[in-house]
Amino acid sequence: MLEDLANISEFVGAIVVLISLVFIGYQLTQTRKQLRADALQQRINTRLQTWNDQLDKAAYQSALEKIFEFELYRKDVKLYELEQLTRAEQQAMFNALAIELVYFQNLYYQRAEGMINHDQSLPLDYIRVFSMAPRRRQWKDQLRISNHFPPEFILHVDAIVKKYDEVERRMESDQDADFDAVVQEVFELPAPPNWLGKSD
């Protein structure tokens, strides 16, 4: 009987030690995650501050008025090409896009690390700024190759940009198509997107 109790005690002790080791391992993993997150946040804050300090808000507002129209791809709306903007407007667009993408990079990291769930980061799946062709061009020609973003995030953005390119092709081939409906189909959304800021 005493021998049995001793064996049981040893077994229970071993289980306790094992559970403690698992808990410590989990704590270490969470600590490492938090340290990585803190380091990333510090780098992001530095980049955001730099780009925000350089952002000419008046030039950016002027650029938006030239390139953006809620009813995208309408025949009766002639929007500016990137080259038609002033140098100050182009630089302001670059800085503003960089700022927005840094935000989405942070969102991407938090989702990948399990810090937020899919519903909390839904805008990450259809970054709406890329509905504007000049923004897609700036991504492809400038920001994508600027070494500001990690490879996995670049692939994520590439996939979104490719889908908006497809949206534009469909809209140009059928001027009567509804933009929201086309976005819903191309992005395989369960419902029409409510993110363009339009009012009925």
3-state SS assignment for residue 40: helix
pLDDT higher at 49 or 22: 49
Global pTM exceeds 0.85: no
How do the domains of the chain map onto residue ranges?
Answer: 1-38, 96-193
Q: Which residue in 84, 96, 98 sits closest to 60, CA to CA?
A: 96
Share of the chain above pLDDT 90, in %: 20
What is the pLDDT at residue 81? 78
What is the pLDDT at residue 197? 41
pLDDT higher at 36 or 88: 88
Question: What is the radius of gyration, based on Cα positions, of the chain?
Answer: 24
Distance (Å, whole) CA 48 – CA 190: 33
What is the pLDDT at residue 5? 44
- Do the Cβ atoms of 149 and 143 come closer than 8 Å? yes
Q: Which residue in 139, 103, 138 sits closest to 121, CA to CA?
A: 103
Q: What is the mean pLDDT of residues 49-71?
A: 76
Distance (Å, whole) CA 156 – CA 159: 5
3-state SS assignment for residue 55: coil
Residue 165 has pLDDT above 60, yes or no: yes
What is the pLDDT at residue 175? 79
